[in-house]
Amino acid sequence: MRVLVQSLIVSLGLVSASAAVAAPKVTATIPAVHSIVSGVMDGVGTPKLLIPGGASPHTYSLKPSDAQALSEAELVVWVGPQIETFLVEDLDTLAPKAKHLAMTGVDGITLLEIREGGIWDAHDHDHGGHDHDTHGHKEHDHDAHDHGEHDHDHAKHDDHDHEAHAKHDDHDHEAHAKHDDDHGHDHDHAKHDDHDHESHAKHDEHHGHDDETDGHVWLDPRNAVALGKAVADALSAIDPDNAATYAANQQAQAAQLGELDAATATRLEAVADVPFIVFHDAYQYFEARYGLSAVGSVTVSPDVAPGAARIREIQERIKDRGAKCVFAEPQFEPRVLTAVLEGSEAKSGVLDPVGADIDPGAAFYPALITKLADDMIACLSEQS
Ligand SMILES: [Zn+2]
Rounded Cα–Cα distance for residues 29 and 52 (Å): 8
- HEC letters along the chain: CHHHHHHHHHHHHHHHHHHHHCCCCEEECCHHHHHHHHHHHCCCCCCEECCCCCCCCCCCCCCHHHHHHHHHCCEEEECCCCCCHHHHCCHHHHCCCCEEEEHHHCCCCCCCECCCCCECCCCCCCCCCCCCCHHHHHHHHHHHHHHCCCCHHHHHHHHHHHHHHHHCHHHHHHHHHHHHHCCCCHHHHHHHHHHHHHHHHHHHHHHHHHHHECCCHHHCHHHHHHHHHHHHHHHHHHCHHHHHHHHHHHHHHHHHHHHHHHHHHHHHHHHCCCEEEECCCCCHHHHHHHCCEEEEECCCCCCCCCCHHHHHHHHHHHHHHCCCEEEECCCCCCHHHHHHHCCCCCEEEECCCCCCCCCCCCCHHHHHHHHHHHHHHHHHCCCC
Question: What is the 252 CA–ligand 1 centroid distance (Å)?
Answer: 29
Residue 11's pLDDT is what? 46
* CA 181 to ligand 1 center in whole angstroms: 23
- Produce one character per residue of 164-173: b if its CB has 16 or more CB atoms within 10 Å, e if not: bbbbbbebbe
pLDDT, tens digit only, all 384 positions of the chain: 444 445 444 444 444 444 445 699 999 999 999 999 999 999 999 999 999 887 888 888 889 999 999 999 999 999 999 999 889 888 999 999 999 999 999 999 999 999 988 888 765 544 433 443 433 333 333 333 333 333 333 333 333 333 333 333 333 333 333 333 333 333 333 333 333 333 333 333 333 345 689 999 999 999 999 999 999 999 999 999 999 999 999 999 999 999 999 999 999 999 999 999 999 999 999 999 999 999 999 988 776 778 899 999 999 999 999 999 999 998 887 888 899 999 899 999 999 999 999 999 999 999 999 999 999 999 999 765
| Distance in Å, CA 250 to ligand 1 centroid | 27
CA 84 to centroid of ligand 1, rounded, Å: 10
Q: What is the pLDDT of residue 21?
A: 52
Contact 35, 370 (CB under 8 A): no
- How are beta strands 347-350 and 293-297 bridged, if at all? unpaired
pTM of the model: 0.74
Give residue 279 CA to ligand 1 midpoint distance, Å: 10
Give pLDDT, residue 53: 80
Cα(114)–Cα(284) distance, rounded to whole angstroms?
A: 9
Distance CA 231, CA 99 (A): 11
Distance 281 CA to ligand 1 centre (A): 6
Say how many Å lie between the CA of residue 216 and the centre of ligand 1.
6
CA of 376 from ligand 1 middle (Å) equals 17
Centre of ligand 1 from the C-alpha of residue 236, in Å: 31
Longest dimension (CA), the chain: 89
- With the C-alpha atoms ordered 165, 166, 172, 176, is the resulting torsion angle positive or negative? positive
CB 180 within 8 A of CB 172: no
| Ligand 1 center to 282 CA (angstroms) | 5
pLDDT at 336: 86
Task: Give the distance (Å) from ligand 1 centre to CA of residue 302.
Answer: 6
Q: Where are the domains of the chain?
A: 24-109+216-262
Nearest Cα neighbor of 232 from 2, 9, 96, 38 is 38
Q: How far is the CA of 214 from the centre of ligand 1 (A)?
A: 9
Task: Output the CA 52–ligand 1 centroid distance in Å.
Answer: 15
Distance 344 CA to ligand 1 centre (A): 26
The CA 104 to ligand 1 mean position distance, Å, reads 14
Ligand 1 ion: nearby residues, β-carbon < 5 Å:
282
Neighbours of 243 (CB within 10 A): 15
The reply to whether CATH 3.90.550.10 applies to domain 24-109+216-262 is no
Query: Phi-psi category of 43—alpha, beta or left, where left has phi over 0 and alpha has psi -120 to 50?
Result: left
Cα–ligand 1 centroid distance for 357 (angstroms): 17
